[in-house]
Structure 1
Amino acid sequence: MPTTTSRSTMTIGDFLLRRLREAGISHLFGVAGDFNLEFLLQMEDGNELMWVGNCNELNAAYAADGYARLNGISGLIVTNGVGALSAINGVAGAYSEYVPVVCVCGSLPLKSLDRNLLMHHTSGDTEYDAVLQAYTPFTVAQTRLTPQNAVAEIDRLILTAWQLKRPVYMELPSDIAYLHVEVPAEPLDLVIPPSDSERLSTCADEIVARLTSARSPAILADIDADRFGVVGEIQELAVKLLSPIAAINTSKGVIDETSPHYVGLYVGAASAPEVRKAVEGSDCLLAIGVRRVDTTSGGFTAALPADRIDVRGDAVDIGPDNYQAVYLKELLGRVVDRLPCREQPAPRAYAAVPSSEVSVPSGPLTQAAYWNLIQGFIREGDVLIAEDGTSEAGGWGLQLPPGCTFVTQAIWGSIGYTVGSVLGTLLAAPERRHLLFVGDGSFQLTAQEISTILRHDLKPIIFLINNGGYTIERVICGKDSHFNDIANWAYADLPKVLHPGTTARTFVVRTAAELQAALAAPHDGMIFIESVMDKYDAPQPAIGAGRGMAEVDYGPRGPQRRPGVQI
């Protein structure tokens, strides 16, 4: 007997809200605008999703990105033209970093399109598809909803975002949200389709044969390991193969760093010798979603074995053979099941010295002393959000205890990302401790979102490095150039300015002893620690990465050849 789908009627707006809830979204980020107000009123009337409300659409997109990294998917609400284009940088970052964000744009009423009316928040012409076209390179699906297509398109876009782990863009014309349409009664089923059975079996057999015959198998994990939820399978593979696991810097913290099989971050020539040996010397490297980007490959110095196995979310390359419709989790599960178990080494204990017991040097606070104290401060289950630049580079050098999440934007690299992102991570996982690491230059781009964090009574621990400007850029080019300087703010005073009456604890520290004392403060509200450091002091990984970037960016006759132009 053919199955039948029971149906009822709902307004288009209510159906969209229902599908967002069914996808696991509990919070919506964005800014109110006249083309989305009717949809927001429906959301408020339904009282089942929480409206976060951001200071601007760019920050909202960053917050939606952070939320989706921990929650699996997120919702972003903007208005036509001005709102959508303000958010596009954040959505583009989610696209490059494989983060599923459903961007809903309250857009021009359909009657305006039918009658060729000239509207505000446009270019003053009838190029009604301009914003949708702008989003096309940075989303995996786009649509303009109509009463005729709304039900099918809402389901298609949400499912596509979830399956492909990338953003989608949906225009909701302002005059259709209250129109009733026939909708299915069944909930949205978020599933990855089954693999082609023959391709799956043949591919798994080939991988098992190669791994079991190899003398030095190894695993290299990129972002796909986290986004497609295969960390457990990867760690089981390492257990059965007794093989090392390395991670691309996009995947810091994805693999348990106390595992006896984890060897560290692989960044090409900048990797530790034992990591390079494990990866580059492997006679069967299983590469999980690895992309060769300059910032993740040590400036293209990564030397991966030519005969590696490249596994992605929905396809595999093994030598000359390409396997389509083979899905990552199902494939790795099949491979794990076909491998025999072996006797295992004991796990490594996490044994960092608590920050309160660290012997601190005298004198001005340095990057080395700073990160040494941070190492003793982090604990199991923490969420670390590290801004592009010295904060990210310092974070890469930390050994994380089990259960930590490390959030960064290693590929897109949009400075200011983390201040919005931490708002999203806090709402996605309120039971965990969230540590934001940010520099003064990046912070100035998105600082106003601290007010949203305080308005929702969220309690991150914010570590801000005040070193007078863009230190990571001073490493690349312009050590003493004015274009790398910024205005000096009273950063630790901002929580009280942005949210009068706040109980946030704020500190300005200039020595390691002062930082150590601040770290001992009770965590009963936001903690904001402004650490003042020398503008020429940078973590060694930042110096190496910056100089490598200059070589890639400028070539052999570039300005980095001038004496004294780099830290």
Structure 2
Amino acid sequence: MNKTVVEYTLNRLYDLGISDVFGVAGDYAFPIEDTICNSNHMRWIGSCNELNAAYAADGYARIKGMAALSTTFGVGELSAINAIAGSYAENLPIFHLVGMPASGVQKSKRLVHHTLGNGDFDIFYQLGQRLACAHSILTPENCISEMERLIAIALKERRPVYIGLPADYAVMQVTEPLPVTTPKKSTSDKKTLEKAVSTIIERLTHSNNVCVLPGILSTRLGLSDNVQALINKTGLPYATMFMDKSILSESNPQYVGMYDGKLMTPEVREFVEKSEYILGIGAMMTDFNTGSFTVNIKPKQFINIMSDYVEIDSVIYPSVYMEDILSELTKRLPNKTYHQIKARGLGKPVISDNGKITAQYLYPRLERFFKPNDIIIAETGTSSMGLGFALLPEGAQFHNQTLWGSIGWATPASFGAALAAPNKRVILITGEGSHQLTVQEISQFVRFGLKPIILILNNDGYLIERLLCDYPEAYYNDLAQWNYHQLPKAFGATDWHCEKVTTIDELNKALEVAGSTESASYIEIITARYESSELAQKLKESKSSLYSF
């Protein structure tokens, strides 16, 4: 082995398909950064701060399946920790490389910068462990075996791992001998697998009234094609919940629409809840997925295939894996004609009497603006709620941080997504309040020659907070006033199409330019203070169940 610890680490990440590493320069991480920048096959992606870098890695992982992040000890890793928590919550594998002080410095408990000044070098590592599915500090003696362990766990659990690299160990040559036994892929218990599959088949084959609820976990596990193959082969109809939007095709005739409990689309709710059986595939019953906990699914109806177990009528079948279950069901379930309904989108844009931009016009208009294979990144809040029930064209992806819900995520996440798929059209839709948190990453789009379409919904404050709180006009919901459409120029963009629109006619012209120009577009869309979608209004009305104790 003629490689240093950090060279070996990065080479293994490259073997997995990771060619970009997000981060911010930091002295304890110099060995990591130098090795990346001296590499012929890896690229350093500098961000404006560590939080943005980790958000960008999150967006990258949503497209490529995994990502890598580099931060320096203490200050850097703590700056990124909120975004890492989001990736943990939403099952995204991020390989978090943390540059640490040299081992001798740590052992002698020297009082050095980026520490608490008390000689404690373990506290940040301990904090990081709580938001990682696996963790290790690499040395020349353990580098190979530990990397294989970390990779295996990260790809199995689809969550971040913490990789500590002390500065002196990072540049030492690996001494651990090859080969190291690669951890075996987990396999299902055969008896339990057969029992679970047989039970599912027996129920579904005797019913013509079934609905599938494919969930986000199936996508995180890389099994979307497997789920689609099951749907196509069997003829089963399917709906999706908010977090799961677009994980399967919304143009497939078997798609019946978005299910959100009592809040929206009553025809879809009736279809799902009156089904004899509901087959979840990685479905998570979170607050926003269940329409503020207003779903009415009985245990005897519900079958849910999770990553490593199946639940049928509240009975758990452990040690069976989603891939194996899907394979058996696809082989053994017959094709049938099932009762179903047809999915509907947002309908025609409704023109207001005064020509101003309303929610009833904006979101249906954006639905018509989307094209096949678009990557749509919608920020937590009213922007994503307005688009959640849009019917997307074939191949279009819709990404939203539904569970973790950290505002500011979408701007850097869309940058990461654009880097991961530079040949696809990336559309960011965010409110101006969220945008203020991470707006610096506009400069990274410019720096790397990317050409997003960025739509800023400016409604003069934190609208979702106004809708959900008891005092909508409270000062904490107000924002500093920015000239948003002028920001790209300040961040280095010289050829972007930037515009502020206040009327329907101006919006249509701006979207026509954005859809036809070869440059990036940045459109600030002015709406009234409380202009919001039906779902946002329904959430306001459902506060009692959303926040029930």
* TM-score (ref. length: structure 2): 0.94
Q: Which position in structure 2 is the counterpart of 1:537?
A: 531
Q: Which position in structure 1 is the counterpart of 2:108?
A: 115
The 2-side partners of 1:211 and 1:229 are apart by 25
Q: Which position in structure 2 is the counterpart of 1:390?
A: 382
Letter in 2 for 1:523: T
CA 1:472–1:383 in structure 2 vs 1: closer, same or farther (change >3 Å)? Answer: same
Q: Which position in structure 2 is the counterpart of 1:229?
A: 222
The 2-side partners of 1:211 and 1:346 are apart by 15
Mapped pair 1:441 → 2:433: yes
Question: Alpha-carbon deviation of 1:220?
Answer: 1.1
Q: 1:70 aligns with which of 63, 71, 89?
A: 63
Question: Alpha-carbon deviation of 1:198?
Answer: 2.6
Mapped pair 1:15 → 2:15: no
Letter in 1 for 2:137: R
The 2-side partners of 1:467 and 1:258 are apart by 32
CA 1:367–1:251 in structure 2 vs 1: closer, same or farther (change >3 Å)? Answer: same
Contact 1:259 1:348 (C-alpha < 8 Å) held by counterparts: no
The 2-side partners of 1:251 and 1:524 are apart by 31
Q: Which position in structure 1 is the counterpart of 2:75?
A: 82
% same residue = 36
Mapped pair 1:328 → 2:351: no
Letter in 1 for 2:367: Q
Question: Alpha-carbon deviation of 1:537?
Answer: 0.8
The 1-side partners of 2:527 and 2:90 are apart by 31
Could you say what secondary structure the match of 2:27 adopts?
coil
Which shifted more, 257-266 or 336-345? Answer: 336-345
Q: Which position in structure 1 is the counterpart of 2:503?
A: 511
The 2-side partners of 1:350 and 1:469 are apart by 31
- Write the deviation string for residues 408-440 of structure 1: whole angstroms up to 9, x where unpaired: 001111000000100110011111100000001
Q: 1:479 aligns with which of 472, 489, 511?
A: 472
Q: Which position in structure 2 is the counterpart of 1:366?
A: 358
Could you say what secondary structure the match of 2:498 adopts?
strand
Letter in 2 for 1:102: F
Q: Which position in structure 2 is the counterpart of 1:132?
A: 125
Letter in 2 for 1:446: T
- Write the deviation string for residues 487-532 of structure 1: whole angstroms up to 9, x where unpaired: 11010100000115x2111010000110100111133121000001
Q: Which position in structure 2 is the counterpart of 1:24?
A: 17
Contact 2:137 2:165 (C-alpha < 8 Å) held by counterparts: yes
The 2-side partners of 1:66 and 1:191 are apart by 29
Q: 1:461 aligns with which of 438, 453, 457?
A: 453
After TM superposition, the structure 1 = structure 2 runs for residues 311-326 of structure 1, keeping only pairs within 5 Å, are 311-319=305-313, 321-326=315-320
Q: Which position in structure 2 is the counterpart of 1:275?
A: 268
Contact 1:354 1:376 (C-alpha < 8 Å) held by counterparts: no
- Write the deviation string for residues 182-214 of structure 1: whole angstroms up to 9, x where unpaired: 467789989853322332222222221121123
Contact 1:19 1:188 (C-alpha < 8 Å) held by counterparts: no
The 2-side partners of 1:287 and 1:541 are apart by 23
Contact 1:361 1:369 (C-alpha < 8 Å) held by counterparts: no
Which shifted more, 216-225 or 541-550? Answer: 541-550
CA 1:549–1:67 in structure 2 vs 1: closer, same or farther (change >3 Å)? Answer: farther
- Write the deviation string for residues 440-481 of structure 1: whole angstroms up to 9, x where unpaired: 100000000111111111110000011111011111123222
Could you say what secondary structure the match of 2:17 adopts?
coil
**Gapped runs of 5+ residues in structure 2?**
none
Could you say what secondary structure the match of 2:46 adopts?
coil
Q: Which position in structure 1 is the counterpart of 2:172?
A: 179
Q: Which position in structure 2 is the counterpart of 1:254?
A: 247
The 2-side partners of 1:344 and 1:296 are apart by 25
Q: 2:201 aligns with which of 176, 192, 208?
A: 208
Contact 1:224 1:312 (C-alpha < 8 Å) held by counterparts: yes
Could you say what secondary structure the match of 2:299 adopts?
coil
Q: Which position in structure 2 is the counterpart of 1:411?
A: 403
- Write the deviation string for residues 116-166 of structure 1: whole angstroms up to 9, x where unpaired: 222211111132221122122221111122222222112211221122111
Which shifted more, 543-552 or 116-125? Answer: 543-552
Q: Which position in structure 2 is the counterpart of 1:42?
A: 35
* TM-score (ref. length: structure 1): 0.91
Contact 1:259 1:347 (C-alpha < 8 Å) held by counterparts: no
Letter in 1 for 2:395: G
The 1-side partners of 2:44 and 2:344 are apart by 39
Residue-pair matches, total: 545
Mapped pair 1:266 → 2:259: yes
Contact 1:19 1:187 (C-alpha < 8 Å) held by counterparts: no
Could you say what secondary structure the match of 1:447 adopts?
helix
- Write the deviation string for residues 277-298 of structure 1: whole angstroms up to 9, x where unpaired: 2322222221122222222211
Contact 2:208 2:339 (C-alpha < 8 Å) held by counterparts: no
The 1-side partners of 2:144 and 2:308 are apart by 26
Contact 1:22 1:188 (C-alpha < 8 Å) held by counterparts: no
Letter in 1 for 2:134: A
CA-atom RMSD, angstroms? 2.5
The 2-side partners of 1:189 and 1:67 are apart by 26
Letter in 1 for 2:409: Y
Question: Alpha-carbon deviation of 1:97?
Answer: 0.8
The 2-side partners of 1:312 and 1:395 are apart by 27
**Gapped runs of 5+ residues in structure 1?**
1-7, 556-567
Mapped pair 1:553 → 2:547: yes
Q: Which position in structure 2 is the counterpart of 1:558?
A: none
